[in-house]
A and B are shown apart, each in its own frame.
Chain A
């Protein structure tokens, strides 16, 4: 039996409201239990404020204070992850090439190997001619491509994606979703993505976890059996969309 990549057990997160006179605690996530399997494309779907980004940060250990437990499939898990940020998180003083390179510098990859790895990822994402450009010279779509290249270049086992297409226009977002799917198929990575867009979740996910707002609770996990490529106008697509809308209703 395949061992899960990540197991969440009774995960709860509270934020302390220090501005409040009584210094009360606001629950953000409550009692989350789930397993994510290797090679799975797992999507958390929920409205704004349901704690889905917080959950992603807890799983990647960017957020360290929580209740409950997280188990990873190996001790090296955290050194084998990539993260794609909603607002790209590129370093403006570095060029496209240098932004991607920094992830390899951090892992002490030798100089001669770095160039080859970076060029492979830049080519994959259509950035080879933009390697010398700086973030302020790039469009939103290109910035996110750099973010994805930076996440991929270290060959991670798991890639976390925090609403990676929400800052992009619909045409660019649709194009990037197709590319992400093709990368996921070719590289066989585990991808954990959060979104508030139902169609995006259906197009991408193997399984969709629906979160309710304030505090975020796991409402239901949908297994997405729709064959790929998924057509937005198919009856099955509409059916699943209706089921998800029903679950997301306040």
Chain B
């Protein structure tokens, strides 16, 4: 029953074919791009893969931490103390911590991922908080009458209620994450990753311009294939 609903993201066969087309376009683009400019396609794809991998790890950590913090502090006495504190932390310019992070962690994967987590965490946390705060009081009363508790409460109630916020937060957080990733890779001076790719071709306008275009195609593809359908579905699921 649930799986059938999930597949409704793709309303027609053409929608599905179009979606596959969108997935394939970035690969064709990057292959053509690397051939025209004589860049080894293996190097290009490995840069993309490494950057993606860093962002994905940081995103998963941020989701885990953000969700737990939101579930702990969305209401009650803890919220009145913690939320203003988190608000100050999220307003703090993340790049101000970068020298300190490099000092402690050196030029390493850990430093990059730590820094990315800081950038992605707050949009996810605050979006989940807003979803949980909008929870209908009657829903809470219904689960109380049912005596839904512990893990059952978390998986069957709290998590589904948080999903629209999680998705909105992911879209915003990953946007900030891409920005922080490029900047961190360039500032730290990593040898692999999209940041180092742009750094090494910074004097070549054509390569940079096509690189940015390719980058936009990737982001558009991810949004079109993954986030926008999920966002639509999550909001539809919350309709009474």
Contacts and interface: CB of A to CB of B under 8 A. Distances in A.
B229 to A, nearest CB: 16
A105 interface: yes
Category for how many chain B residues contact A? 20 to 34
B147 A107 contact: yes
Nearest to B161: A93
Nearest to B233: A93
A89 B136 contact: yes
B232 interface: no
A85 to B, nearest CB: 5
B145 A82 contact: yes
Contacts of B236: 136
A202 interface: no
Interface of B is mostly: helix
B237 A92 contact: yes
Interface residues of A, number: 31
B109 interface: no
Most buried by B among A88, A89, A98, A107: A89
A81 B145 CA distance: 7
Interface stretch (B20-28, B119-127, B148-156, B209-217): B148-156
Interface in A89-114: 89-95, 97-98, 102-103, 105-107
B163 to A, nearest CB: 8
B1 A60 contact: no
A79 interface: yes
A214 interface: no
B36 interface: no
Contacts of B238: 92-93
Contacts of A150: 142
Interface in B104-147: 136, 138-139, 141-147
A62 B145 contact: yes
A49 B214 CA distance: 62
B240 A102 contact: no
B155 to A, nearest CB: 10
A105 B239 contact: no
Most buried by B among A82, A102, A107, A132: A102
22 contacts: A62-B141, A78-B147, A79-B147, A85-B142, A88-B138, A90-B240, A91-B157, A95-B1, A97-B1, A98-B1, A98-B2, A102-B146, A103-B146, A105-B148, A105-B152, A106-B143, A106-B146, A106-B147, A106-B152, A107-B147, A135-B240, A150-B142
Given A57-B141, A88-B240, A106-B143, 5 more contacts: A89-B142, A93-B160, A93-B238, A94-B160, A132-B1
Q: Closest 4 CB pairs between A and B? A: A89-B138, A106-B148, A106-B146, A136-B239
